Structure formats: structure tokens, C-alpha cells
Copies of this chain bind each other. A is one copy, B any other.
């Protein structure tokens, strides 16, 4: 007789071998290339997305949009790039806001579009409200006779669209190098996320609705961190609510690369008990 313990896999599908799981087990290892545009939103609007015990952060209007290119593998997935490269590469565009929990300043992802199913699912497990989208990020190959090495005066643009709508367009025009300590808040702060999974029973409370703090370790930073002028535009949508978080003032833009390992998080609050 088959028991539930005979089925393997970190997530769907649960199978006899566990090989088909859309996402493999923890830890997950990431390498990323970021284009970030820092901006001020309407602080009152941001606050509406932050349910207690989430609170506005120390700079309650500070947000950023991040366009990012990812190289990732999961535990025992070192060979995945040579088995199926598509399961290790993807792109994202995300809207981040500052927040705090019990006085600890943090950050939260309030909207995010991604180009692959496994990244969408993996994000859901971490409280990222991921949808599929099309994400383009400018890139230069200095071996092309008409392109230069990334540097002063380079301009990189990101464009995010979904459901046939262009949602966000942002860019950096690089004008200097900085130290990573100069990246503005809430960049670098801990991630506090809302994890959610609905019940199958109509009108029942969600099966999962919890505030989590995500960990990270094994940080690597590429020491070259570019800063510059930012441009950022949000476009109206029939579907999305991102216009509520649209830029009031663009503050700056950054381009950097880092890598880290995610090996799980902690549950800080279980909202299902409040419902």
C-alpha cells in the first residue's frame, strides 16, 4: 500500500521519484543581476498594503522597482543547468516597499512579474505575489563592435508587461560607482512577507495566511556597484493595482550583482487565528 510518505517532491506534483517536482527542496541558491530604481511613493497608499503587525517602515514612502536576471538552482540541482537550462534562468520585475515589524525595519515585495513557472511557484512559497509577465532588461556585450563595457554613461532599461499591458518601464543612466553601504533603504533590510494559500472550502478562512521573515546566507557581492540617474514610469492597467504605488519622485538608480542561499524562513504571525 502506498502511504503519503512514499510520495516525494518539495511541491506539486508529488510523485514516486520526486524528480518531477516543479521546485526542488531547500536550500535554494541564487545569483542575480539587478537594475533598481529607488523612488518615493505616496506613504498613505503604501500603508494600505501593510496589515498589522506589518507597519510602515522608518521611511514610509521609500520604495523601489527592481528588474533582475536570475541564475538559480535548488538543493542537489547543481546539474540542472546541463539537464534543462530553462529551469535555472528567468527574469523578474518587482515593486518593493519599506516596512517594519515590531520595530525591526524591513522590506516587502508588493507586486512581482516573472518569466517562468518554477520561479512563480517558488515565490508563492516565500510569500512573493508572483504572476507571469514579460520582462526585458537591457544588456551589453562589449565584444560587439558597436557596444561598450558597462560603465559611466551606460543606460540600462527594464520593461515589464503582463496580460498584453505594459506595466512598468524604468532605467538607469550610470554616472558613478558606489559602495554597497550607499544603497538606499529599504534595500538590504530583512524580508517580511505575507504567505497565503486559500482554502478549498467555500468562505472558509485561508489554509495559510501568515507573516514570515525570510532568511538568507552565503552572501556574495560583486564589488562593482553602479549608481546613476533613474527614470521610472508606471502605466495604467485594467487588471493590476500598481498605480497606487506609482512614483511621486524618482530618487536614483543602481545596478549590481549578488548571490545568496535561501534555506527557509520563520513564521512571525499566524493571521488565520485573527479571522
Contacts and interface: CB of A to CB of B under 8 A. Distances in A.
B6 A140 contact: no
Given A51-B4, A52-B3, A265 B201 contact: yes
A48 interface: yes
Contact of A220 (B143, B159, B203, B239): B143
A110 B19 CA distance: 14
A51 B6 contact: yes
Identical copies in the complex: 4
Interface string A1-25: 1111111001111111101101000
Interface string A123-138: 0111111111010111
Interface stretch (A57-65, A160-168, A175-183): A160-168
Contacts of A144: 29-31, 71-73, 220, 259
Given A49-B2, A142-B31, A166 B161 contact: yes
B241 A17 contact: yes
Contacts of A126: 200
A6 B10 CA distance: 32
A138 B202 CA distance: 29
A86 interface: yes
Contacts of A110: 13
The 7 closest A-B pairs by CB, nearest first: A31-B144, A31-B141, A13-B129, A202-B264, A12-B129, A29-B146, A71-B141
